[in-house]
A and B are shown apart, each in its own frame.
Chain A
Amino acid sequence: MIQEKHKYKNNIIKDKIQSHKINKWFKKKGWSFYDYQIKALQAINQNKDILITSPTGSGKTLAGLLPTILESEKFKKTNLYTIFISPLKSLSYDIERNLLIPINECDLNLTISVRTGDTTAYTKTKQIEKPPNILVTTPESFALLMSYKNAEEYFSNTKYLIIDELHNIIHSKRGDLLALNIARLNEIAPNHNKIALSATLKDIKTGLAYFSNKKKSEVIKSLKNKKFSVSIIKTTKNIPWSGYMATYAIKNIYNNILKHKYSIIFVNTRAQAEVLFQSLWKINKDKLNIAVHHGSLEKKLRIKIEEKMFKGLLNCIVATSSLELGIDWGNISLIIQVGAPKGISRMIQRIGRSNHKINLPSKAILVPTNKFEYLECEAAKKAIYENDIEEIKIKKGSLDVLAQHIFGVACSKPFNKDLLFKNIKTSFPYKNLDIITFNKVLEFVKNGGYSLKHYKEFNKIKKNIKGNYEVSDKRLIHKYRMNIGTIVESDLINVYLKNKKLGKIEEYFVQNLVRGDTFLFAGEVLEYLENNVKGISVKKSKNKYPKIPSYVGGRLPLSTKLSRHVIELINNYKNFNMPTRIEEWLQKQEEYSMLPPSEGLLIETFTRNNFGFRKNYLVAYTFQGRSANQTLGLVVLNKMLKLHLKPIAFTATDYALVVWSEIKCNDVEKLFDNRNFFQGFNQWLENTSLIRKHFKDVAVISGLIDKNYPGYIKTHKQIKFNSDLIYEVLKKYERNHILLKSTKLEAIDDLLDYNKIKNYLLAIKNNIIHKNLKRVSPMSIPLLLEFNIEKVKEDNLIDIIEEENNLLLEANLH
């Protein structure tokens, strides 16, 4: 029922709702519309584009679709009116499933269909011949439909474009692709309204500008803020100095899932998921139904788990970010986060999975796996209650995506170069694109854009008699559609148990396997047998413990915002009720050295004797995140080389950078001097594996080389393009090529945090505090242990324990 408190700005909305079938259906269910849902309708009625921000589980999807539902009586059966873009395939099916209920129960005059990469060819053809009223699709499938010859006709009736989980899509290459296609849609169907749905966004203005170029637009916030109840797990055991597996708290985790009917355990890496899952089953006396869910699992297996969860057959799922986004499971009552939260928005999103209903608080328990993570959990808890979320970093539109788009437009119809340029500039990420760059990208699409005009007589697109560009060979259109998208998967190999496909693992992991090796996958210890064209085959192992511990993957970066909170927390640690051991750790650090200050940079130096070998350590507590610290480490290492300090190695964590050398560095300020810090850096950058890997992505997205078909072991014939070799040759013979340039620019900013470091060094310029210590400091212990942790082999475990004992003794913490 509609509550009286709604202030209808005009009667049209009131009449529309009250006379509509959906209203009766709502009444029957005992539900009422939320205020913001009505507001959204009013805004749409005033021909505005709207951005609805509201926490998960507050009826956002319905709010977005309500205008469509109310107008459905007027709809023709085979016209497409509403495009619903969702970032995840599984989310698309969830939306269809949820919308089909009112459609069927109210007998609405509406058709809905899902189109993703998984859709069958039959359904795809049907969708083209007889479009549904609502098409639920992904950015990639939307781009694909836009490349069809009949795209203009197909989308000409569009009344609504809905973008779900906007925060997940914008400011990424996927976001670029979507923005470009929205710009085209604006031309095809200029009168449609846009509705974006998002979890709380920090920078609302940009969020709005990203998808809407209408003068009239409005942000609609659901008034209610989701309530949270967040705590850190209580155990009698001490939080370990290092490691990432949380096995110390396994019994407490188990007892908590025992107390709740349905729960999700979120972890940060797939390795954590596998290890935790196995550890839980080892103590599962009560025979709880516990499953594991991550991105590497076989699709069928994953869907089966999702269905079981949906039907309430599972008690607990151990999951990575694969379950993060808004799949609608109303009955989860507990979220356990194992490992550091890494980001505030991410944490809120994860916690929002519990008690999906808006008026109940979401309950979450955080499980730190080591001492630094405890600090991060405590800081996150505070930030969550303050709702202090991160801003999404704005990125310029990528040129590889632009190249893909230009060819996509040509697939659909011949285009006028100037008009296309104008249209592209109306999209948010490309608003500052200049004509010179555009022309270069166009030349690249034509024939590679090399200064050596070797491909002059061959062109992928060429001018027709009217002077418009069109595709020169029809076969290229088919190939384009096979390669569409901006997500380049790393080389993955199928894993088969007899004839059952279990999922995919990284190729490099397979290459190091020897027959008889055992490893954890899909929740089981598997033994490697052999490889063949289809992938690798394995059998179940009788061993309880795998020989090869795990593979890394899916490491999350710490957000700048959360790292700020961690420093603040450290400096106010006495005001928090922390476990005694943690408090003692910080107190000893304060006494012996100092706490990392909230303004400025603390650098400690000390010397240790290791088996008669003296190592000089330098620890910089930057709290700038792993990738920034890694870049810092590489530059500092190079500077030490030049100063003849004989550096040995470095290790970078989210919190600090540790470098050790044979000769002690006395002038540490010089190493972190912000002037000329990056001198010589560019040349070094060109030869890193990081930039090669990024070049591969750019080469695939831009259409220079084709996607690999993931899963299969490569046979001799399938090896067509080796992007590393292409990179080397291009670097040697045409340094100014547009792909090289944009690869470098993207790598510098997005992967290496170049600008972040620059700003940071400027900020701490006159505020570097050097503590020249006699021995290891308490706070550096976890950092020194980190290096050993990276080498995961079992036989190293004893070394690590021994090293920990040594360090504790040296620091007087034993």
Chain B
Amino acid sequence: MLVQFGNNQFLLNPDGSIYWLEEKSLIVGDLHLEKSTSYIDQGNFLPPYDTIDTLKRLLNITKELLPNRIIFLGDVFHDNSAFDRLKTKEKKLFKDILKKNVIWVKGNHDNSFKYVNIKTYTSYKLKNFIFSHISNKKNKLEISAHYHPKVTFKFRGTKVSKPCFLIDKEKIILPAYGAYTGGLNISSDIYKNIFLNNYQIYALGNTKVLKIEKKF
């Protein structure tokens, strides 16, 4: 699904990433790698397959769209020590991805993560667009993540809940990309404070992105 934003063209992908046509850049938010293993000390042993699943999906979309650059919008890792918990195979996949030109915006989960050759930013400006993890009221033309928006709607009589993109004239919020990242429903008051106007909702379907009409 192609949308216009700040006179540029952005392709919304059903995996939750965005492809910026003018800059040939792939934008992803909230991978939360190693979320599974972060609950060990609390006694929750989640199936430890989320990282491999998330990285494989990211690799697939880069193979498909061949971007010149990947912009990470923060919370790539679920916590600051998550990188050390990657298995050998996962580390290799991660390094393969980093071979691209990468812009790394820090998140609240991985703000002290350090890695050779990666420069990290609190927010990054490219052309007129600001890339940050958490949305800031002052920013015009901003692309951010953090809230993991999801929307609930009725489809053929049954209730469906899906991650979604939220877009108005000044802001885009991306859904979370990670395999285990749940979401915050758009009925939450938080979104009212971010968007001044009514925003568009684009839900992630299995093979395409669906525009959802919802009254406010």
Contact = CB atoms under 8 A, between A and B. Distances in A.
Nearest to A513: B187
B37 interface: yes
A700 to B, nearest CB: 11
A711 to B, nearest CB: 16
B49 A473 contact: no
A730 B180 CA distance: 11
Which of A460, A532, A715, A729 has most B Cβ within 10 Å? A729
Interface stretch (A99-107, A386-394, A447-455, A799-807): A447-455
B184 A450 contact: no
B49 A729 contact: yes
Nearest to B39: A720
Interface stretch (A183-191, A319-327, A731-739): A731-739
Given A510-B187, A514-B216, A713-B188, A725 B182 contact: yes
Interface in B114-157: 147-148, 152, 157
Given A726-B180, A732-B49, A455 B40 contact: yes
Interface stretch (A286-294, A670-678, A702-710): A702-710
B133 to A, nearest CB: 13
Nearest to A455: B45
B42 interface: yes
Given A508-B159, A531-B187, A790-B157, A734 B180 contact: no
Given A479-B43, A530-B189, A706-B44, A452 B179 contact: no
B50 A729 contact: yes
B47 A721 contact: no
A689 B161 CA distance: 11
Contacts of B45: 447-448, 450, 455, 458, 460, 704
A719 interface: yes
B53 A732 contact: yes
A194 B90 CA distance: 57
A400 B152 CA distance: 29
A719 B35 CA distance: 12
Which of B49, B148, B189 has most A Cβ within 10 Å? B49
Which of B46, B179, B187 has most A Cβ within 10 Å? B46
B152 A721 contact: no
A513 B41 CA distance: 39
A511 interface: yes
A476 B182 CA distance: 24
Contacts of B183: 719, 722
A704 B44 contact: yes
B187 A511 contact: yes
A714 interface: yes
Given A452-B49, A704-B44, A716 B147 contact: yes
Nearest to B190: A716
B179 A703 contact: no
Contact of A473 (B41, B47, B152): B41
Given A458-B40, A514-B216, A716-B190, A689 B152 contact: no
B49 A734 contact: yes
A721 B182 contact: yes
B215 interface: yes
A512 interface: yes
Contact of B47 (A450, A689, A714): A450
A537 to B, nearest CB: 12
B45 to A, nearest CB: 3
A484 to B, nearest CB: 14
Given A454-B37, A454-B87, A531-B189, A730 B179 contact: no
Contacts of A479: 42-43
A530 B158 CA distance: 25
Main secondary structure of the interface of A (DSSP, over half): loop
Contacts of B181: 722, 725
B48 A452 contact: yes
A511 B185 contact: yes
A104 B42 CA distance: 48
A790 B49 CA distance: 40
Interface residues on chain B, size class: 35 or more
A732 B53 CA distance: 9
Contacts of A737: 47
Given A531-B189, A729-B179, A508 B152 contact: yes
A714 B49 CA distance: 26
Contact of B46 (A532, A716, A721): A721
Interface in A588-647: none
A796 B106 CA distance: 51
A514 B41 CA distance: 41
Contacts of A510: 187
Contacts of A729: 47, 49-50, 53, 179-180
Contacts of A514: 215-216
Nearest to B216: A514
A116 B184 CA distance: 33
A631 to B, nearest CB: 16
Interface in B41-98: 41-50, 52-53, 87
B83 to A, nearest CB: 15
Interface string B187-216: 111100000000000000000000000011
A532 B189 contact: yes
A733 B184 contact: no
A511 B148 CA distance: 16
Given A725-B179, A733-B49, A790-B157, A714 B184 contact: yes
Contacts of A716: 147-148, 184, 190
Contacts of A714: 184-185
Nearest to A452: B48
Given A530-B189, A716-B147, A726 B43 contact: no
Contacts of B215: 514
Contacts of A733: 47, 49, 52-53
Interface string A720-754: 11100110111011100100000000000000000
A719 B158 CA distance: 23
Contacts of B187: 510-511, 531
A692 to B, nearest CB: 11
A733 B46 CA distance: 12
Contacts of B184: 714-716, 719
A237 to B, nearest CB: 32
Nearest to B159: A508
A705 B179 contact: no
Contacts of A689: 158
B49 A719 contact: no
A715 B190 CA distance: 9
A763 B108 CA distance: 62
A460 B40 CA distance: 9
A634 to B, nearest CB: 12
Contacts of A531: 187-189
A721 B38 CA distance: 12
Contacts of A511: 152, 185, 187
Interface in B146-179: 147-148, 152, 157-159, 179
A532 B184 CA distance: 13
Interface in A502-538: 508, 510-512, 514, 530-532
B147 A726 contact: no
Interface in A439-472: 447-448, 450, 452, 454-455, 458, 460
Given A530-B189, A703-B44, A704-B44, 8 more contacts: A448-B47, A455-B45, A511-B152, A705-B46, A716-B190, A725-B180, A729-B53, A732-B53
4 smallest CB-CB distances across A and B, nearest first, come from A448-B45, A722-B182, A733-B49, A454-B48
28 contacts: A448-B47, A452-B48, A455-B37, A455-B45, A458-B40, A458-B45, A473-B43, A479-B43, A508-B159, A512-B152, A531-B188, A531-B189, A689-B158, A704-B44, A704-B45, A706-B44, A714-B185, A719-B184, A720-B182, A721-B46, A722-B180, A722-B181, A728-B179, A730-B49, A733-B47, A733-B52, A733-B53, A734-B49
